[in-house]
Amino acid sequence: MHIRFQIALLFGTFCSVQSFIIKASYESSAENEGYLLKDDDFSVSTLLERANLNAGKGENEPLVMFGDIAVDTDLKNADPCTARGCLWPKAPDGNVYVPFRISSAYSARERNTIMQGLASFASSTCIRFVPLDRQEDFVDIQSLSGCFSFVGRRGQGQNVSLSRRGCVFTHIVQHELLHALGFDHEQTRSDRDQNVRILLENVMQGQESNFRRIRTNNLGTPYDYNSVMHYGRFAFSSNGQPTILPIPDENAVIGRASQMSTLDIRRVNLLYRCNSTIYDKEP
């Protein structure tokens, strides 16, 4: 009995050592290649994936498709915003005023984070998020069942959901507000296949629509790995393997933006024809 115990102990130790060696070898290899799965823990796509397990399933919530895009239940798809006329109107002074209302459900800290995200547009674009004051069309920021938004202006009060459970980060606020202004995900761009390779064999079953390609208006700007609208390398992975690889350098960093990129800002200014002498700067 004593001999059996020793054998079992030796076997367990051997397995533990082998497991450690394999794990260390994998992590060393991944680190040498320039990325680790854990590096994407706070990427937009990882936060959305975690927060949106039940997105759109709450009572009176819109249908949520393509990760975090709300659509009318009778449409079943999300057409490019500019194809249907979805921009917020420009005022005579050249600014674009987007009324908003924030739910009272947020704590003071959470509200401050959301307000910072709203205010960040004013420093570099002609977009001005202003408190609702009887305007007919506005964004209604609520803590619903995940992080999601309609794409572009829909008319009347349109939900922008920033759940208190996982969505109240500045880059997530910017991401969802860019949707509300009319922007789609970067990896869905019409020219994405020249810039990234989508590995559908590694995508979770039922999540393939997150990687669709659509006819976007790219505004003459280049593809942007640093966009706050770009998903991470391991977005919706079923097996811990990459679902998006950059071309031609597979080790290029993608989807880790902590704030709007220079190109994100430029596109807002181009789409809304902001005063280029004030806002449009070279990256």
Among 265, 264, 276, residue whose Cα is nearest residue 122: 265
| 49 is a catalytic site residue | no
Measured distance CA(283)–CA(39) in Å, rounded: 25
Non-local (6+) Cβ contacts of 24 within 8 A are: none
Measured distance CA(227)–CA(258) in Å, rounded: 9
Residue 219 is given by DSSP the state T
By residue count, the chain amounts to 283
Prior bond of 246 cis (ω within 30°): no
Taking phi over 0 as left and psi of -120 to 50 as alpha, with beta for the rest, 62 belongs to: beta
- Which position among 61, 110, 136, 176 bears the catalytic label? 176
Among 262, 263, 254, residue whose Cα is nearest residue 40: 254
Active site residues: 176
